[in-house]
Amino acid sequence: MTKRKSRNQSGDDVLPGLVGQMLVQLGEDPKREGLMRTPIRVAKSLRYLTEGYKTDPKDILAHAVFKEPYDDMVIVKDIEIFSLCEHHLLPFYGKAHVAYIPNGKIIGLSKIPRLVEMFSRRLQVQERLTTQVAESLMDALKPKGVAVVIEALHLCMCMRGVKKSDSYTVTSSMLGAFRKDARSRSEFLSLIRLKRED
């Protein structure tokens, strides 16, 4: 009994109830067989898809920065992203391409996809997601430059509104050398070769 009370106080049992109310407002009967466990499933799904709020980017990057005299471009491309549009709570998904030019420090390569995933697991707009990844890497590494490009398909465009099922959105954030030096920027864009341009 105490355990249940504690869950209620922390808000863990509120979300299924809200989903149930939403089903009623949509004209459904949450007590019918196919929907009886839907509020619990949706609540678990939403918590999973927004678990990025629980992590600070500094916690991901703090112990993965190493001194290294390497000074050429480092690229991690084709990082899968799945996120929820904050305007309609519908998914958008695609690929992120991330590059940086070291300035005496490098980062463990697995941390870059983890950083992308952490920011993706929040209610997002693609533009902000792109900027957050770039600025976090810039803050952690102090590199010569950071570049992030995200290409994604938004279900809010495919399923409603203009209903354009093959329209990809491409966003970029170019910091430091990638913003100032056209050659670095061109090299990065050439190396990632955006899927929609293949």
d(CA 104, CA 66): 8
CA distance 179 to 72: 16
Known active-site residue 86 = yes
Cα-only R_g, the chain: 20
Query: Which of these is catalytic: 124, 126, 132, 151?
Result: 126
Q: Which amino acid is at 33?
A: E
68 is catalytic: no
Cα-based distances in Å from 11 to 5, 8, 19, 136, 192: 10, 5, 14, 30, 43
Catalytic residue among 21, 51, 68, 87: 87
- Which residue in the list 135, 156, 158, 187 is annotated as catalytic? 156
> Which residues on neighbouring strands pair with residue 168, listed in sequence order?
153
63 belongs to the catalytic site: no
16: amino acid identity, one letter = P
Active site residue 126: yes
Which one from 85, 124, 132, 151 is the annotated catalytic residue?
A: 85
Q: Where are the beta strands (DSSP E) in the chain?
A: 65-67, 74-85, 91-101, 105-107, 123-124, 145-154, 168-176
Instruction: Choose, from 88, 135, 158, 187, the residue flagged as catalytic.
Output: 88
The question of whether 87 is a catalytic residue gets the answer yes
DSSP-based three-state secondary structure for 167: coil
- The residue annotated as part of the active site, out of 51, 68, 80, 86, is 86
102 neighbors 137 (Cβ within 8 angstroms): no
Residue positions annotated with a catalytic role: 85-88, 126, 154, 156
